[in-house]
Structure 1
Amino acid sequence: MISLLISILGIYFFVALGAYAKWHFKEELHDRSLILVSVYILQPFLTFWGLTARPLEPGIFEAPIWYLAIVLGFFLLMTPFGRHLFPDRKKRAIFLVASLVGNTANLGIPLGIAIFGEASVPYTTMINLANVLFVNTIGVYIYSSGRFSPKESLMNVIKMPILWSALAALLVNLIGWQIPDAIEENLKLGAYASIVIQLLLFGIYLSQVRIEHIDWLLVKTVGSIKFFLLPGAAWLLLQALSMEPFVKSVLLMELITPLAIANVNFAALFHCRPKDAAALVFVSSLFFLLYFAILWPMIHE
């Protein structure tokens, strides 16, 4: 439990650094420049390295497929309610995407290692790929549609380099090409830089959040779905599946991770109320610490 706490605190240390940097440098620190570097340059390194670090075995595809099915199912159910609850397109975009996009990479992967050991890495990596696929297609389209036309939103999806990076990584893995150690070290360097930049960006936007930026209707609806309805429905579904208990636990853990920092990145990239998104991520991250400590011992098999 101590190692788990250290892992979580280590993650938020970089968030605090980002907040301090924005507070100290103020307007000299251009957060949008970091967003562009993160999304279009560094995140493809993270995806490619994560998907080529280990050979992909057929058995590890079951968990990400079910993860994606559960998330897509909830997205379809939420869409009509979103139109009713949030007439504002930008708030509706945050509701539809943030509720479903968890922090499966920066928090989910180290959390899996701390709880289950390194045996969880292939599963958490593939579940994160499913999450990346969702947020970089449907997520990008929804966030973009808060400001852009449907055609422009579709083009924004196609422009996402992380999708092409994922496809390239899967191809490399499938053909069995062994990446030289020197190249892999450079990929790892870019991957770690991507994680750190994302955490710093979260802190930067968090430092600009004020109480008035917290939309309590968004907090209540997104929190109810992310921490109660989504994992509750998933838990009931998993009871009926013949999946190994270990894999079920990993999948459920990834579903209850707090909101992903990617929500802030894409909300900022497409001018879709990034401060609202940052406030939501912050509130969900605080709640997650207590929520996880109480809930996990009850559902962990």
Structure 2
Amino acid sequence: MALDPTALMGPLWTLLAFVALGVVAARRLKVDPRPIATLLIYLIAPLTFFRALVLGGPTPAWLGLTASLFILASLVALLVNAVAHRWLPGEEGAVLAFSAGTGNTGYFGLPVALVLLPPEGVTVYLFCVLGVTLYEFTVGFYLSARGRFSVRDSLLKIARLPLIYAFLAALLVEMLGVDVPESVTEALSVFPATYTLLGMMIIGMTLGRVSLRSLDGRFIGACVGVRYLLWPALMLGAVMLLDATLGLSPDLRLALLLVGVVPMAANVVVVAMELGIAPEKGALAVLITTLAAPVVIPLYLSGMLAIVGQ
């Protein structure tokens, strides 16, 4: 399967334009990104994913996919966390551990999935994204908080995260067979675009305050290595194993591989901003992996799909 790099330029330039708006907002308008990060975590993200779950109609098979991605992301993050704290300061190690379990599956990956996959494949991809997102706001948030807070305080912060309750509420709605009024889902339709816009603008707002002292080659190299070496290898191995044992549809193969090759998650900056742990270094690493994406994604996906015989 040959991929046209030009098909990815539209999503890339749109996202970079949002980053540029964030830089302007920070430098010219002196906008403080911290309240926006809080708004994303405690309001916009929960409503965005509640709407997606309600519209998607979760089935046991799709929820199994979500659970599998959640477990994989958590295991990768825990492994990197154990290694990172041996050679990085506490806060930087926490940011690296958080970023190790996630990627920009939403802000960047979803527009790419819409280009590469049919509607059914996009739905499958969204349930993969949900597993990664649940990791971000549970295990990932805990690992990040432990870079600065005690175990008790870190757990209390997780307990206050509404995305967990939004996920449970959506499952309850599905189990009880409750029909959410169309007017409600239409009213919530503004949140996905807002989630993407503000998430990418926060990167720009953080970069607008970055100095050359924030350029840490060791930290950025570790982030890039985990995102563009470890994750592609993991997802390729997982797809080959599952295909040999269970058999996978072409859409599911591509959806899983795409999860493995997206750039670093913008939520790395959002969570670091909320917890006050090295957001500038995280923003630089996110920007570098995003700029590399138009080259990396077509190259990796073409090679990986050739290996799995698609």
TM-score range, shorter chain: over 0.9
Alignment match of 2:258 (pick from 239, 253, 263): 253
Q: Within 5 Å, which residues of 2 pair with 1:26-105?
A: 26=30, 29-86=31-88, 88-105=89-106
Mapped contact 2:78–2:97 kept (Cα < 8 A): no
Mapped contact 1:70–1:234 kept (Cα < 8 A): no
**SS of aligned partner of 2:196:** helix
Separation (CA, whole Å) in 1 of partners of 2:191 and 2:235: 34
Partner of 1:234: 235
Residue 121 of structure 1 and its aligned partner are, at CA, apart by 2.3
Separation (CA, whole Å) in 2 of partners of 1:39 and 1:139: 13
Partner of 1:197: 198
The one-character-per-residue Cα deviations of 1:210-267 (angstroms, maximum 9, x if unpaired) are 3321211111122112111222132123212123232022011012211111110110
Alignment match of 1:21 (pick from 21, 25, 31): 25
Q: Does 1:264 align with 2:265?
A: no
Change in CA separation of 1:55 and 1:80 when aligned onto 2, cut-off 3 Å: closer
Alignment match of 2:8 (pick from 1, 4, 12): 4
The one-character-per-residue Cα deviations of 1:112-146 (angstroms, maximum 9, x if unpaired) are 11111322222122112111111111111111112
The AA in structure 2 aligned to 1:229 is: L
Segment drifting more, 262-271 vs 206-215? 206-215
Residue 82 of structure 1 and its aligned partner are, at CA, apart by 1.4
Separation (CA, whole Å) in 1 of partners of 2:82 and 2:45: 32
**SS of aligned partner of 1:258:** coil
Mapped contact 1:213–1:275 kept (Cα < 8 A): yes
Separation (CA, whole Å) in 2 of partners of 1:35 and 1:75: 22
Separation (CA, whole Å) in 1 of partners of 2:147 and 2:60: 38
Q: Which runs of 5+ in 2 are unaligned?
A: none
**SS of aligned partner of 2:85:** helix
Residue 69 of structure 1 and its aligned partner are, at CA, apart by 3.3
Change in CA separation of 1:21 and 1:193 when aligned onto 2, cut-off 3 Å: same
Q: Which runs of 5+ in 1 are unaligned?
A: none
**SS of aligned partner of 1:38:** helix
Partner of 1:289: 294
Separation (CA, whole Å) in 2 of partners of 1:247 and 1:137: 25
Partner of 1:120: 121
Alignment match of 1:273 (pick from 247, 259, 278): 278
Residue 68 of structure 1 and its aligned partner are, at CA, apart by 2.6
Change in CA separation of 1:125 and 1:237 when aligned onto 2, cut-off 3 Å: closer
Mapped contact 1:63–1:247 kept (Cα < 8 A): no
The AA in structure 2 aligned to 1:216 is: G
Change in CA separation of 1:175 and 1:255 when aligned onto 2, cut-off 3 Å: farther
The one-character-per-residue Cα deviations of 1:7-54 (angstroms, maximum 9, x if unpaired) are 22222222211111212112xx12212122221121111111111122
The AA in structure 1 aligned to 2:105 is: T
**SS of aligned partner of 1:101:** coil
Q: Within 5 Å, which residues of 2 pair with 1:180-191?
A: 180-191=181-192
Aligned residues: 298
RMSD over aligned Cα, in angstroms?
Answer: 1.7
Segment drifting more, 52-61 vs 156-165? 52-61
Separation (CA, whole Å) in 2 of partners of 1:215 and 1:78: 18
Mapped contact 2:51–2:188 kept (Cα < 8 A): yes
The one-character-per-residue Cα deviations of 1:188-210 (angstroms, maximum 9, x if unpaired) are 12332222221221211122223
Separation (CA, whole Å) in 2 of partners of 1:136 and 1:78: 17
Mapped contact 2:70–2:132 kept (Cα < 8 A): yes
